[in-house]
Amino acid sequence: MKRSIFSCFLMATVIVSMVSCSKDHDVFNNSAVEQQHKSEFESNFIKKYGAVDPEQTWDFAKMYPTYSLSGNTILPRNLTRAVIDGGSEYMSIGDWYEVDAKTIEWMKKKLPDGRNHEDLGNPFYMIVPQNEFSIVPIYQGTGDFVWTLHLVVEDFNDQGDAMDITVWTKNQNIQKNESGNDGDWQDVGPVDPNTNYRTSRTHNTKTAKFVRAKPITFKNLPVGKSMYLYLSNLKSGAPRNPASSLAHQMLALNIHPDSVPSLGDDYKEMIIGCEDQAIYEKSDHDFEDVVFMMYGKPDVPEIKEITEPVKETVSKRYMVEDLGETDDFDFNDIVVDVLQTTTKTAVYKINEDGTRTFLRFEGDPTVSQKAVIRAMGGTLDFELTIGNMKWSKSGSGYAAGTMVNTGADGQAIDYNATLAEFDVTGWNSETNNISVKVGSKGSGNVMTIVFPKKGEVPMIIAVDTNWMKERVSVPSSWFTIPDDDDEGE
């Protein structure tokens, strides 16, 4: 650039040099304006929230999945999230359920680590029964992801939303005894989610003499609705592919340990074995990473095996500050949800007795991506790039200076609004390849905003929550550094 500017002074009469000078001068001004805006924003951000930790990242989205069979559609859908405690109207925590040494030994014998057990069950969903039903963990094998169990009920309300109930995490309400006799609970320890099973046996219950856990009982769920289970997995604090009963990562096993302590003749029981590695090609398919017992009186949820393609959809919400104001941290200038749907087709064989055995998922999964604009609180025109797709505010019929769906002038916010919807290709949920070009006020300068690197002040964040009203800053509680959880296989 110095050479071009220097040429302007020496060769002012040369047209080519004049063009070069003008062009470089514009680039210089544009860069200076952009840097000034970003510096002011960063300074004001630090004044409000404090200095940014060098390890701080800005992707807080868990990307919990939704599922549907091929005949249904869930794009875009509203998934009601419910992190429910023991006082909830839908769930309660029971007293200790004790699993003895015989059951643990049976699990190790029937579900040995690393051996393929796909023939013990098929992908499934369930039907909510009329009676209450319960789930309790009875065994944790070699898997070392940090998992959280979810139960999802479809068509939960009149709007057709799904209810996602967070049930419990790996080490919640579970104890084990490594050396004592059955019934001796004086010397117990937890299942540790932060140790590696290769070096510490506290990571699972394989070496326990006996285990006890508190069952979760579900109540007041809409009878007859479809429901399914999945594990949301973490590895080193980052979300990994979820493992679902719909996608052959959980099996309603066709075997049952006789030694499981009886609940009484009036109860029905089923055993569910789970994989924590959801990528089919990487899984060992042993289904012993987590084992639950589900029971009910007089019925457990009815099992419906999957016989058609399954769609799995994950989504991530991005919130953007466009630098129109450098002291405004409502992060609602652009709110966009990006959704990715993966469709898998299961292949079965028909057995002589008429039953079906899952064989594999056929072919490569098909993947589609969409973006849904939810809110635009900025007064600047912008061009949004997601993967390989570009979308602009003014080019889609919206006035650049108009704020939409952010509570301006006392207007109500519709958190389910679809202001625009378009197909996307090339979006990477891990690298967050999203950027925005914004025209600055009072000039022709264009500023480029990208997803922040670790330790940088953010102008884009990824979250799982709703956006703020105009000029209401996001709370500092949003900006937390994830714990460094254990490694998975």
pLDDT at position 236, please? 54
How does residue 376 score in pLDDT terms, banded at 50, 70 and 90?
very high
The residues spanned by each domain of the chain are 33-71+314-344+365-478, 91-296
Q: What is the pLDDT of residue 484?
A: 38
Residue 208, token pair as written in the block: 């326990």
Per-residue pLDDT tens over the stretch 203-217: 566 777 778 889 999
User: Measuring CA to CA, which residue among 118, 121, 116 is closest to residue 360?
Assistant: 118
Give the pLDDT of residue 18.
33
**Lowest-pLDDT range, 134-138, 193-197, 215-219, 390-394?**
193-197
The widest CA-to-CA distance across the chain, in whole angstroms, is: 101
Number of residues that make up the chain: 489
Give DSSP secondary structure letters for 246-260.
GGTSEEE-S---TTS
Could you read off the pLDDT of 131-177 as tens digits, one per residue?
999 998 888 877 667 788 888 888 887 777 778 888 887 777 888 87
Nearest-5° Cα angle at 304, 89 to 262: 65
- From 150-154, 199-203, 369-373, the region with the lowest mean pLDDT: 199-203
Of 91-105, 251-265, 335-349, 358-372, the one with minimum mean pLDDT is 251-265
Model confidence pLDDT, tens digit, residues 283-292: 888 888 888 8
Q: Looking at residue 257, what is its pLDDT?
A: 61
Collect all residues with Cβ–Cβ distance below 8 Å to 39 and sequence separation of at least 6. Answer: none
- Residue 41's H or E segment, with its range, is helix 15-49
Task: Report the pLDDT value the prediction gives residue 179, as an integer from 0 to 100.
Answer: 66
Instruction: Please state the rounded mean pLDDT for residues 380-387.
Output: 96
Please give the angle made by the CA atoms of 213, 118 and 207, to the nearest 5 degrees.
35
